[in-house]
Structures are given as structure tokens and as C-alpha cells.
Amino acid sequence: MRMLTTITPKFQVHIPISIRQKTGLTQHGRALIRAEKSKIIIEPLKSKFMSLAGKYKVEKPIPAEKVREAIDYSDKE
């Protein structure tokens, strides 16, 4: 698939939506970029942090507005 895009004066590039959909690029983030002869290749990197989503179960979830109440501020030395 080939699409026309623009390189800004700051060398930023817009990735067209059809390219993003075809490659599964759904959100901004880090990418690996390399040059092969006269081509520029950009590969999105998956977030290591987000890959942990859903891996850990919480027995008693605490609502965000009550987090400060649940923290033990006592000095345990």
C-alpha cells in the first residue's frame, strides 16, 4: 500500500489512517526507525508497561478517590 503524506518543517510525518488501520497502529507511542538505502522504515513498539494490563488480580480494589485513606502513613522503623 502506498499513500502520499507530508513531512513538516520539523520533520514530523502524518501516518494516514488507512496505513494505521492496516498495520494495527491504534495509539501514539514509541517506534523503531531505520533507513534501508533510500527508504525510511518505521515500526511501532508495543509498550512494555501496557503489556502488563490484566495480568494481576486485585482482591480488594480501592476506588481512586479513597486511595489516600487506604495508605498507611505511619513510620515503621
Q: How many helices (H) and strands (E) does the chain have?
A: 2, 2
Asked whether residue 52 is assigned to any structural domain, the reply reads no
Asked whether residue 17 is assigned to any structural domain, the reply reads yes
Asked whether residue 60 is assigned to any structural domain, the reply reads no
pTM: 0.52
Residue 10's domain is classified under what CATH number? 2.10.260
Residue 41's Cβ-count burial label (10 Å; 0-12, 13-18, 19+) is: exposed
3-state secondary structure of 46: coil
Identify the domain containing residue 30 by its residue range: 1-45
pLDDT at 77 over 70: no
pLDDT at 50 over 70: no
Structurally, how many domains does the chain consist of?
A: 1
Asked whether residue 65 is assigned to any structural domain, the reply reads no
Q: Judge contact between 37 and 29, C-beta under 8 A.
A: no
Asked whether residue 77 is assigned to any structural domain, the reply reads no
Count the helix, strand and coil residues of the chain and give each as a percent rounded to the nearest 5.
20, 20, 60
User: pLDDT tens digit string along 14-48?
Assistant: 999 999 999 888 888 888 999 999 999 998 887 77
